[in-house]
Amino acid sequence: MWSKLRKGWDRIHLFVAVIIAILGFVYFISQALDYSETLPPVAPDEGMNLYQGYLFATGRYQPFEDYGPWSFQMPVSYLIPGLVQARYGPGMEVGRLYAVVVGAIAVLGLWLTVQRNSTLWWAAAAVWAIALNPTYVQYFSQARTEALVSMLFSWMLFFGLGAERQDWELAVAGFLAGVAGMAHLNVLLVLPLYILYVFWQFDRRAGLSVLAAGLLPVAFVHIAYWPDVLRVWAGYIRPELFSWADEYRPPARGNILPANFSWWPVTDWIGDRGHLAWVGLRALGQTLRVHFLVFFGVLTTLLLWPWRRKLRPGGRSITKVFFNQHKQVVFLLITFLTLFVVYLRGANGITCQFSCLPGNIMYFFVFGLILVPISYTGWREEMPIWKQVAIIMIIFLL
């Protein structure tokens, strides 16, 4: 009798988890459609993506063409929304509907990734984590590159994360990582990190297949638009090291931060609330608030994961499962932290003045959002009191 009741409960609670996820998905779509009709256009990102994309897709101009519109991003960020407009008509309305579809696909990919590598309940929680965050929903309601890239990464993780993936799945994941890099150059760093993960998690054949698949979109874009594609790369190349790239550099735009701005020494600005450093700190605080669950998951995993060998589980079968999980956790953490450092540096006057940081995390937030569902079964059950206090303090500070 009890076994029958238990089996019945197992079926019911899994069914309930799916229903909760569906409700979250419907709520996300309804919110996104509402935002798509009410939010003002985002200048210049959204307008450039749609207008330049339409010009490129219809053949009026080619990416990086002389005397054509300047391309700040890699071609994929323009061509995908451009092809949608070439099929359904140009304009903001089509662009916003395209963005909502991209968001729906991203949420679906995230749900599939979490339920495959964790549980249906955690998958439902991941859906609601996006649906209840107005900033996430707004980004998935606008034709912005951040939404497109995060959608590609959610499906990359679905195909490529886990110890039981087939070679073709890993190759698809590598291909999607390459496509994401050809939409936004900064996130191309994900591709080599993922290739290293596959070599570590699987074998040489799988790693080589991912290498080939990931380089395919990268090679195609560079061959198709060489050498003018260097106009995007030139912004990342130091003039004193590669003077030959000077002819491809964008027009000088002046200093984003004052020439005399510095974070050090702290005593120069800590008492002056009007100092520009406080603007940077407020932008960092806003980033932590908007992406609270992401940073909470990253910090919690760093504190609770058993990094020391003596704290890890014993037994051959348990150890094998743990190390498969360990490799996934290491890949997700390194990828998230690497990109966070890149964008943190960019927000410190390289590409913008602090305010772009919350939005830039949207490119790769999925790597941090799924950390808790992936890692929680391996967390330490016992830990020193200072770590318990540290976790409580982090929760209140964030």
Residue 367 covered by a domain: yes
Residue 107 covered by a domain: yes
Q: Given 231, 248, 265, which residue is the final one in a domain?
A: 248
Question: 137 falls in which pLDDT band (50, 70, 90)?
Answer: very high
pLDDT of residue 59: 87
pLDDT of residue 71: 84
Q: What is the mean pLDDT of the chain?
A: 87
Calculate helix-pair angle for 76-88, 45-57, nearest 10 degrees: 70
Residues above pLDDT 90, as percent of the chain: 56
pLDDT single digits (tens) 20-75: 999 999 999 999 999 999 988 765 678 888 989 999 999 899 998 888 888 888 99
pLDDT of residue 43: 58
Residue 262 covered by a domain: no
Q: What's the structural domain count of the chain?
A: 2
pLDDT of 116 higher than 90: yes
Residue 45 covered by a domain: yes
State the DSSP string of 111-135: HHHHHHHS-HHHHHHHHHHHHT-HH
Residue 309 sits in the same domain as residue 242: no
pLDDT of 305 higher than 90: no
Parent domain of 93:
6-248
- Using CA atoms, how far residue 389 sits from 51, 245, 285, 308, 395, in Å, is 52, 51, 21, 20, 10
Residues above pLDDT 70, as percent of the chain: 88
pLDDT of 81 higher than 90: yes
Return the residue matching tokens 């929304």.
81
pLDDT single digits (tens) 1-23: 556 656 666 678 788 899 999 99
Residue 50 sits in the same domain as residue 148: yes
Q: Is the pTM of this model over 0.85?
A: yes
Residue 207 sits in the same domain as residue 319: no
